């Protein structure tokens, strides 16, 4: 379960950072997981793949 939580946290942070880099205000309450998949292969560097979306209020 830890890998899932770590993957979701990483995606959420990337989305927040991308929004603030664009001078926007991320809406963390709007975050949702769009796709997730776990790999059974222990040799994969990122065994849990997560994709998500979040609203970002951009200025002007």
**What would the pLDDT profile of 3-52 be if each residue is shown by its tens digit?**
788 889 999 999 999 999 999 999 999 999 999 998 888 787 777 889 99
The pLDDT of residue 47? 78
The pLDDT of residue 46? 72
> What is the Cα Rg of the chain in Å?
13
Ramachandran class of 17: left when φ > 0, alpha when ψ lies in -120 to 50, beta otherwise: alpha
The Cα 16–Cα 55 span in angstroms is 9
User: How does residue 57 score in pLDDT terms, banded at 50, 70 and 90?
Assistant: very high
């Amino acid at each position: 379960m830890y890998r899932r939580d770590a993957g979701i946290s990483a995606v959420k942070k990337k989305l927040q950072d991308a929004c603030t880099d664009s001078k926007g205000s991320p809406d963390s309450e709007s975050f949702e997981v769009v796709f997730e998949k776990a790999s059974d292969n222990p040799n994969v560097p990122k065994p849990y793949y997560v994709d998500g979306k979040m609203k970002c209020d951009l200025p002007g």
